[in-house]
Each structure stands twice: as structure tokens, then as C-alpha cells.
Amino acid sequence: MIPKEQATSALNFYRVSSKITGVFLILVGVEMVLKYFFGLLIWSGGPAGFLGLVPDSVDGTGLPVSGVDISKLLLQVHGILYIVYLFADFRIWRLANMKFQDFLVIAMGGVVPVSAFFIEKKYEAKFVQIFGLEKTGA
């Protein structure tokens, strides 16, 4: 039997990483729509001001000289957060001794926009039952 403290810690880590990864995945989706449908990048600083949109250029010329490309930053941060999310997924999956298919379904939560929230809710109920924990409602 797994100690309740360890199970609670793993479940809380999974909950938090799921929500953060889900939010960043939605932001990445917005960034993709702006870039590929409207030809715009999210930019901070320089002529764009604190936060603005600038025309995307295929070869990198014509971009503002100063400032930060928030579009690239969003993608990089989401990539790092997804790795953390996979770690949380692996940790909870191993503790719950579930099938590999469950690991893959949970991992999809960081790839398919909005799915992280639904998958987290579904599997949270399973984990609470498996570990014999009380549902927090958070």
C-alpha cells in the first residue's frame, strides 16, 4: 500500500501540472491561429509596446530589432511544462499501477487543446478511488 502522503503529493502535483500545461496549450493554440491564419507574431517591447502583434516574416527579416518574440517563448515554455507534465503523469500512473494505455491517454492531455482539463478530472476521480483519498473539490 502506498502511503497517503505520497499519493496525495503525486495527485496534487499532477493536478497543478495538468492545469498549467492546459492553459499554456490554449495559449499556444491562440499563437498558432495568429501566426498561420493571420500572419502575426506576439511581440513584447520595441515598436509593439508592452505586448502587441507584428507581421510574421518567413525569413526573419522585417521583425522589430528590439523586443522579445513571445510566440517562440510560449512554444518553448509549453515544451518544458509538457516534460514536467509527463513526469507527473508517469509518477501517478506508476503509483496507481494502471495500464500503459492510461499513461498515453493522460499524456494526450498536454497535446490536444482543452483535453487536459477533462482528462485531469476523469483520472483524478480514478486516482482518489485507487488511493482511498478524499476528494478535495479543487
Question: Cell 511544462 sits at which residue?
Answer: 81
Each residue's pLDDT tens digit in the chain (138 positions)? 778 888 889 999 999 999 999 999 999 999 999 999 998 989 888 777 888 888 887 666 667 777 888 999 999 999 999 999 999 999 999 999 999 999 999 999 888 888 889 998 998 888 888 888 776 555
Determine contact, residues 88/17, Cβ cutoff 8 Å.
yes
> What is the model's pTM?
0.85
H/E stretch holding 85 reads: helix 70-96
For the chain, give every domain's residue range: 4-131
Determine contact, residues 18/122, Cβ cutoff 8 Å.
no
Question: Cell 495538468 sits at which residue?
Answer: 18
Nearest partner of 27 among 4, 10, 51, judged by Cα: 51
Question: Cell 497535446 sits at which residue?
Answer: 111
Determine contact, residues 36/75, Cβ cutoff 8 Å.
no
